[in-house]
C-alpha cells in the first residue's frame, strides 16, 4: 500500500487552505488523514498536540490586522498563565464593525481600545497588562477576574493604584462598576490562581479575609515558615496543596510540621475541596475559627 504524500512544511505548524493548495495538498486530501482542523479554515498535521500555543498560531492565520488578543489570551501571551489546562480558547477583540465570525475555540468581542491599550508581543498586538486586568475584572465571573488581577499585580505588571485610576478614567463601558467594585479584593501577594480561588471561597462565604503569604515566627522571633493564607489572631493557617512532585510535597510537609510546633493549626486543601466540595471546605474552616477562638 502506498503512503500518502505529506509536504514537510505542513507538519510543523498550522496552515490555511491556500497554504495547503500551494504545497500540493487538495481540499479533498484535507478531509482525510492525517490532517485535523483547528478552526474553520485552518488545519494542522494530526501528530501535533492540541495546545494553547498551537491554537494561538492557528488564530494568527485568521485574525486580521485590526484584531487584538485580549483577556486570558493576552495575559498568557504576556507571560502570566492563569488559564485552566483544558481552556484552549483564543480571545480576540475587534473595533466596531470589523469583528470576524465566532467559531469553536476562537472567542471574539467588540471593544473600544485606545492606542495606549495595545502592545506588541512577538509582533502580535495584545492588550496591555493594565487593560487586560481591567477587562477581565469586567468580563469574567467574579472570582476568575480577581484571579487575573491577582496574577498581574503579583508579577509587577500592573499596580493597584494605576488600575483604580484606569477604572476611574473610563466611561460608558459595560460592567464598568461591577469590575471597579472588585478592586478591593485584589491581592498582589497571592502566588497562584488556586490561592486566589481558595481565598475568595472563604471571603464570599462570609468568613474574615485571611492574610496572604503570612510569615510565622517562633518565640525568639526566628522565621519558621510562610503560609498561603492565615488567621494570625487564632493561629490558623489555610493552604492550597498544589505540589505535583514528591520533593516539593516533602518540603511542604516539613514546613507545616514546624509551623504546627509553634501552636498553629494548618489545614490543607486540594482542587476538589475548592471546586467539588466548597461548602464542606468553608464549614471546616468556620468550625476551626470558632474552636480556636474559644
> Is 204 found in the same domain as 154?
no
Q: What is the reported pLDDT for 4?
A: 61
Q: CB 154: neighbour CB atoms within 10 A?
A: 21
Specify the pTM: 0.86
Please answer whether residues 269 and 198 qualify as being in contact, where contact means their C-beta atoms are separated by less than 8 angstroms: yes
Look at residue 257 and tell me if it is in a domain: yes
Q: What is the reported pLDDT for 184?
A: 97
Per-residue DSSP letter, 62: T
Look at residue 109 and tell me if it is in a domain: yes
Split at pLDDT 50, 70, 90, the class of 43 is very high
* Dihedral sign of CA atoms 29, 32, 35, 36 in order: positive
> Is 75 found in the same domain as 168?
yes
Here the CATH number for the domain that contains residue 275 is 3.40.960.10
Q: What is the pLDDT of residues 73-120, one digit of tens each?
A: 999 888 898 877 677 788 999 998 888 888 888 889 998 899 999 998
> Is 58 found in the same domain as 44?
no
Summarize the confidence of residues 199-223 as an average pLDDT. Answer: 97
Residue 123 has pLDDT above 50, yes or no: yes
Please answer whether residues 248 and 171 qualify as being in contact, where contact means their C-beta atoms are separated by less than 8 angstroms: no
Task: Write out the residue range of the structural domain in which residue 130 sits.
Answer: 54-185
Site of grid cell 494542522: 44
Residue 201 has pLDDT above 70, yes or no: yes
Look at residue 1 and tell me if it is in a domain: no
Summarize the confidence of residues 28-32 as an average pLDDT. Answer: 88
Please answer whether residues 236 and 292 qualify as being in contact, where contact means their C-beta atoms are separated by less than 8 angstroms: yes
Q: What is the reported pLDDT for 97?
A: 85
Split at pLDDT 50, 70, 90, the class of 51 is confident
Site of grid cell 492565615: 230
Of residues 104 and 265, more confidently modeled: 265
Please answer whether residues 128 and 119 qualify as being in contact, where contact means their C-beta atoms are separated by less than 8 angstroms: yes
- Residue at which a domain ends, from 185, 220, 247: 185
Q: What is the pLDDT of residues 214-247, one digit of tens each?
A: 999 999 999 999 999 999 999 999 999 986 777 7
Q: What is the reported pLDDT for 143?
A: 96
The total of structural domains in the chain comes to: 3
The per-residue pLDDT of the chain, averaged, comes to 92
> Is 176 found in the same domain as 58?
yes
> Is 35 found in the same domain as 66?
no
Amino acid at each position: 500500500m502506498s503512503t500518502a504524500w505529506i509536504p514537510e512544511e505542513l507538519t510543523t505548524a498550522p496552515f490555511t487552505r491556500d497554504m495547503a493548495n500551494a504545497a500540493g495538498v487538495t481540499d479533498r486530501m484535507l478531509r482525510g488523514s492525517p490532517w485535523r482542523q483547528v478552526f474553520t479554515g485552518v488545519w494542522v498535521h494530526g501528530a501535533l498536540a492540541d495546545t494553547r500555543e498551537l491554537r494561538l498560531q492557528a488564530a494568527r492565520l485568521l485574525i486580521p490586522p485590526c484584531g487584538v488578543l485580549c483577556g486570558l489570551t493576552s495575559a498568557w501571551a504576556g507571560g502570566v498563565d492563569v488559564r485552566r489546562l483544558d481552556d484552549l480558547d483564543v480571545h480576540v477583540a475587534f473595533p466596531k464593525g470589523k469583528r470576524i465570525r465566532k467559531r469553536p475555540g476562537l472567542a471574539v468581542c467588540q471593544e473600544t481600545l485606545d492606542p495606549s491599550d495595545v502592545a506588541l508581543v512577538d509582533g502580535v498586538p495584545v492588550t496591555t497588562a493594565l487593560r487586560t486586568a481591567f477587562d477581565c475584572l469586567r468580563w469574567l465571573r467574579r472570582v476568575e477576574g480577581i484571579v487575573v488581577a491577582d496574577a498581574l499585580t503579583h508579577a509587577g505588571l500592573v499596580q493597584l493604584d494605576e488600575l483604580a485610576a484606569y477604572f476611574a478614567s473610563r466611561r460608558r463601558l459595560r460592567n464598568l462598576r461591577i469590575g471597579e467594585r472588585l478592586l478591593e479584593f485584589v491581592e498582589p501577594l497571592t502566588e497562584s490562581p488556586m490561592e486566589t480561588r481558595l481565598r475568595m471561597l472563604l471571603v464570599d462565604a462570609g468568613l474574615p479575609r485571611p492574610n496572604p503569604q503570612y510569615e510565622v515566627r517562633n518565640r525568639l522571633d526566628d522565621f519558621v515558615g510562610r503560609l498561603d493564607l492565615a488567621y494570625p489572631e487564632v493561629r490558623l493557617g489555610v493552604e492550597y496543596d498544589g505540589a505535583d512532585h514528591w520533593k516539593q510535597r516533602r518540603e511542604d510537609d516539613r514546613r507545616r510540621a514546624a509551623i504546627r510546633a509553634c501552636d498553629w493549626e494548618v489545614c490543607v486543601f486540594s482542587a476538589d475541596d475548592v471546586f467539588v466540595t466548597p461548602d464542606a471546605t468553608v464549614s471546616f474552616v468556620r468550625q476551626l475559627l470558632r474552636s480556636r477562638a474559644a
